[in-house]
Amino acid sequence: MAIPAIIVHGGAGRIPEDEHAAHLAGCKLAAQTAWKLLEGGASALHAVEIAVRILEDDPTYDSGHGAVLNRNGEIELDALIMDGATLDLGAIIAVQGIANPITLARLVMTDTPHKILAGEGAREFAIHQGIPLVSTTELATPKTRARYEQHKAGIPVSAEEPHGTCGAVAVDAHGHIAAATSTGGTPFKLPGRVGDSPLVGSGAYADDRTGAASATGDGEQIMRVVLCKAATDAIGAGMDAQAAADYAIRVMVERVNGLGGLIVVDRVGNMGFAHSDRNIATAWISVDGVMHAAMGRNL
């Protein structure tokens, strides 16, 4: 039997200091809830889905409730979940009206012959699955609405704009690995814009033979280096989880000057995280059951 492991993130970027506590509190709750599931014998796949659902329900983060608005004043959500045991995956792209996109992504994996559904097709699938639809008004917050109005009016927006993408990676008691990532994308994006989060290997990746990773940050740069696959491949080449996270971020900086971060777990439960932006909100539980949380680390 393996020792379960869980690490979650709530986004990278220039997270204002007065928001640090909220970012860490949500990550801690997600990690603690997922840990209890893993201790009870739940699969890594289930644990990462529930962890990300908790973050999607928290308006602190840019996914589900609290997601940013695009140039049309709409919320389009992306999510990806991956099972390291089988390499199976499910993703949704640019879907509207869904509070928990990560659950819809898992249903794409389990209840369709496909791997990715996008836009109206993903929305129609959600309705068919009995998932209740929610309005943009319900998902937006006063903060995201104010940010949208600033962008729309051409008013300069503070550089303190974190990438609130959320994600989780885990190993369960059977040694299986999973990863999940969910996002609302970037503020005032063009309708239909897709970043790294729902792209396998970029926003997340999981393989029982190596490890799992979930990314956050500037999606246009993350996808160019296939950040999460770079990290898990580094584990396969002999690096531990922390070294692999550092390596992947270093490659992104050197090759495309990218800003972002990622969390990593290897197949034996070692964990790590790294970032090139100022902060990344993370929480994890060590093998002794102790909760840890951080707003980043010095590289």
In the chain, what percentage of residues exceed pLDDT 70?
97
pLDDT in tens, 128-161: 999 999 999 999 999 999 999 999 998 877 655 6
| Mean pLDDT score, 250-269 | 97
Whether 263 contacts 10, CB under 8 Å = no
Look up 165 and say whether it is catalytic: yes
Label residue 299 by pLDDT band (50, 70, 90).
very low
Q: Is the pTM of this model over 0.85?
A: yes
| The pLDDT of residue 28 | 98
- Helix H, strand E, coil C: the string for the chain is CCCCEEEEEEEEECCCHHHHHHHHHHHHHHHHHHHHHHHCCCCHHHHHHHHHHHHHCCCCCCCCCCCCCCCCCCCCEEEEEEECCCCEEEEEEEECCCCCHHHHHHHHHHHCCCCEEEHHHHHHHHHHCCCCCCCHHHHCCHHHHHHHHHHHHCCCCCCCCCECCEEEEEECCCCCEEEEEEECCCCCCCCCCCCCCCCECCCEEECCCCEEEEEEECHHHHCCCCHHHHHHHHHHCCCCHHHHHHHHHHHHHHHHCCCEEEEEEECCCCEEEEECCCEEEEEEECCCCCEEEECCCCC
Task: Identify the active-site residue in 60, 136, 144, 165.
Answer: 165
Span 64-97, pLDDT tens digits: 999 999 999 999 999 999 999 999 999 999 999 9
Report, as an integer, the average pLDDT of 256-265. Answer: 97
